[in-house]
Each structure stands twice: as structure tokens, then as C-alpha cells.
Chain A
């Protein structure tokens, strides 16, 4: 069997629809990861007894286990406890929670990088806790870590393909469906690889450029 361009073009629209689902899942997933990761990072930083330890364990546990197994666990276990939702929603929650452990570490690095003098100044000015975080610390912390978060975004885009294992109809799953119904795997799977490259390579270049710009404007 050899490469058939005509056939490849005929399945391209379906694959593009799959790519759209992948991109949607990535956007929703990164939104969860950014919010949840920030909450986890701040709670860990505040060193609340027990609670902070629990979140530290949460971060290392999520980072120490495979996304595929987490996805299977959520997909099969949740319905046993009466929580039913679509595969897509389960998948989005799983990648979001999974990446929150990574973004929490990134936020932590950003927060710890903020100059000690900034904390001392907020104390000297007797600024209350909330504006200290939202107006002083976090804006400075987040600025430096934007490129790192961008890299995790790209990484998540690639990891969404793992959700095909729990029947989320994203790009790879679409290609598998086409492959098993037409008995052709070469074209769909090659196109999936090319589409992934077509999105992630330019995205990586944008992040690299962003990194340079944010680094120089200090």
C-alpha cells in the first residue's frame, strides 16, 4: 500500500474537525490548569498546617503518575459513584487537573522569585493580604513565567491526544475511526502527525519570541 494523495485530501476535513476538538479541549484544559494551579501554589506558599501539606502531596502525586492512567481512572471510576459526564468533559477535567500540578510548580517558582523587598514594602505600608497578592506579588510573579506557561500549553495540546484512549473524539481518535473503517492507516496517521507539527512548531516559535521580549524589557 502506498500513499494516496487524493484519499488524504478527502479525509482532511474530518481530521480538521478533530483538530478543532483538540484545540477546544486544550483551551478549556489550560484555563482549569491556570486557575487551579494558582490556587494550589498560593495555598502551598501560605504554609497552612496540614492543608499545605495535602496540596504538596497532591502536586507530587499528580506529577508522579501517568496521564493515561489518570484518564482511565476518572473515566471508569466516576460513573461508579454516580457522576456521569461526557468523555470530552471528563478528558478536559483530567488534563486540567493534571496540568494544574505542573502550573502550580511554575507559579511557585515565580512567586519565590519576587524580590524580598516587595514583601517588606507591603508590610511597611501595612497593605492587607489580598491587595498584597493581587496588586503586588502576582503581577510580578506571573510576568516572568508567561513563557514557561506557554510551553506547558503546547505540551498540553500534544497530551490531549492521549484522551483518544477514553473515546474523546479529538484528532487522533478521528484518525483511528477513519483507519478502522477504511482499513487505511498510513494517510490518516501521517496527517495527524503533520497537523500536530503545523500547530505546535509555530506555537513554540511564538513562545520563544515572547520569552526573549519579556526578558529584555526588564
Chain B
């Protein structure tokens, strides 16, 4: 374990890259999820078909295959992006496709009565979606979004295979130069695990914040404990 302490700065750099991928990837994934999810529900074939094809292609193939394709094959078709950008875009497209189905499922499972009430009140379709159906569906989406977010975090490790210097890549580098195999991989697994747990707790907070019945339990104590555990984990993860 002591040998890799010297390499802590390298791991820290890798962790930052992983977190950047996580933040940028999930922001873009959210945009893609709503675009493709709503597109697939459209009355117009010209919107519905591309959205459906996008969703099925990205859900039907592995993310690592998509990464390799975008990194090695796409430049041959004239589109050349830096490895980091490829990582962000593919992560977002892949997880966005899964999240699009969550968006669609949540909105379609809203009571038909809501739609009928809107029609009766003369609320136009676009406004019905924006002001009535989507806000009501968000609590139903959040738990599944949480799973997608944790998947996205875990999938950030795959970008190491296309030479993005993320946490996993730095771990592999350190293993090659020190040979401290067990220590390196234990550290990686523990750091990823802590990140997943933190993300899970963050989603639970959001779920409570957006719960339809606002008899939600007080946020303060939970927040305080989260901050405390975060401090503990950042103190412990480097060693």
C-alpha cells in the first residue's frame, strides 16, 4: 500500500478526469434522454422514427463497442474528435438512450385522466406536456435515473480503453510502473464504490425533494450526514 502513496497525485488527476466525464456525460445524457424520449412519443413519424432507431441502436450494442467505433472507425468517415470528447459523447448517448425509455415510460404511465382534463380545459398539447405531464412524471423518473447515473459512473472506466487518462487508466499505469497490483486495484475498487454510494445518497435526497407529497422528512439532518460522510471519504480515499 505504501508504494502507491507516492502515486496519489496521479490517481487524484485520474479521479478528476473521471468526475469531469461523470458531470459532462450526465448533463448531456439528460438532454438526450428528454429529446429522444419525447421524440419517440411524437405524433410525427419524422421525429418518432429517428428517435426510435437511435434508442434501439444504442441500447442494442455494448458501450465499449460504441466507444471503439467512435474512436477508431468514425475518423475514417471524416469525423475526428479527441478521445475525451468521444468518451463524453458516447457515455451520454448510451446512457441517454436508456434514460429516454425511462422518460417515455414515466410519462406514458401518467393517468389518462390528466390528459383528458387538459383536453377538457383546452390546454394545448405542448403546454400539457411542459406544465402538466413532465412535472408530474419527474418523481417517477428519479429512482431509475439514479440507476442510470451509477451505471454512467461505472461506464466512465471504459474510456480508459480509448486512452482517456481517467482513474482506471492511471491505475493501470501505476500498476505497470510499481507492480503493486493488489494495492492499485483495491484502491480503484474502493474509490469507485465510495463514488457510487455517494451518488446513490444524492439521488435519495433528490427523490425526497421532488416527492409529490411534501410530508417529506426534514432534509437538513440527512444533508448534514451526507456532508460528513463525504468529508470522511475524501480523507480516506487517498490512502
Query: Are A80 and B181 in touch, CB under 8 angstroms?
Result: yes
Query: Are A64 and B172 in touch, CB under 8 angstroms?
Result: no
Q: Is the interface of A mostly helix, strand, loop or mixed?
A: helix
Q: Inside 8 A of A161's CB, which chain B residues have their CB?
A: 62, 64-65
- B69-90 vs A: 1/0 string, CB under 8 Å? 1001100110000000000000
Q: Provided the pairs A193-B69, A196-B65 are in contact, do residues A65 and B196 lie with their beta carbons within 8 angstroms?
A: yes
Report how far A164 CA is from B60 CA in the complex, Å. Answer: 18
Q: Inside 8 A of B188's CB, which chain A residues have their CB?
A: 69, 73
Q: Provided the pairs A185-B72, A196-B60, A197-B57 are in contact, do residues A65 and B185 lie with their beta carbons within 8 angstroms?
A: no
Report how far A76 CA is from B183 CA in the complex, Å. Answer: 11
Q: Which residue of B lies closest to A163 (CB)?
A: B64
- A53-76 vs B: 1/0 string, CB under 8 Å? 000000011011111111011001
A189 within 8 A of B: yes
Query: Are B175 and A190 in touch, CB under 8 angstroms?
Result: no
Which of B150, B161, B197 has a CB less than 8 Å from the CB of A165? Answer: B161
Q: Inside 8 A of B160's CB, which chain A residues have their CB?
A: 68
- Within B149-170, which residues are at the interface with A (CB < 8 Å)? 150, 154-158, 160-161, 168
Report how far A72 CA is from B56 CA in the complex, Å. Answer: 30
The interface on chain B, measured as residues whose beta carbon lies within 8 A of the other chain's beta carbons, has a size of 38
Which of A70, A72, A179 has a CB less than 8 Å from the CB of B172? Answer: A72
Q: Which residues of A contact B (CB under 8 A)?
A: 1, 60-61, 63-70, 72-73, 76-77, 80, 158-159, 161-162, 164-165, 172, 175-176, 179, 185-186, 189-190, 192-193, 196-197, 200-201, 204
List, sorted by A's number, 15 A–B pairs whose CB atoms are closer than 8 Å.
A1-B76, A61-B189, A65-B192, A66-B158, A69-B157, A73-B186, A158-B61, A161-B62, A161-B65, A172-B64, A189-B65, A190-B69, A192-B69, A193-B65, A196-B65
Q: Which residues of B contact A (CB under 8 A)?
A: 56-57, 60-66, 68-69, 72-73, 76-77, 150, 154-158, 160-161, 168, 171-172, 175, 181-182, 185-186, 188-189, 192-193, 196-197, 200
- Further contacts, 17 of them, CB under 8 A, given A68-B160, A197-B56: A65-B196, A66-B156, A68-B168, A69-B185, A69-B192, A72-B185, A76-B185, A158-B63, A162-B62, A172-B65, A189-B72, A189-B73, A192-B69, A196-B60, A196-B62, A197-B60, A201-B60
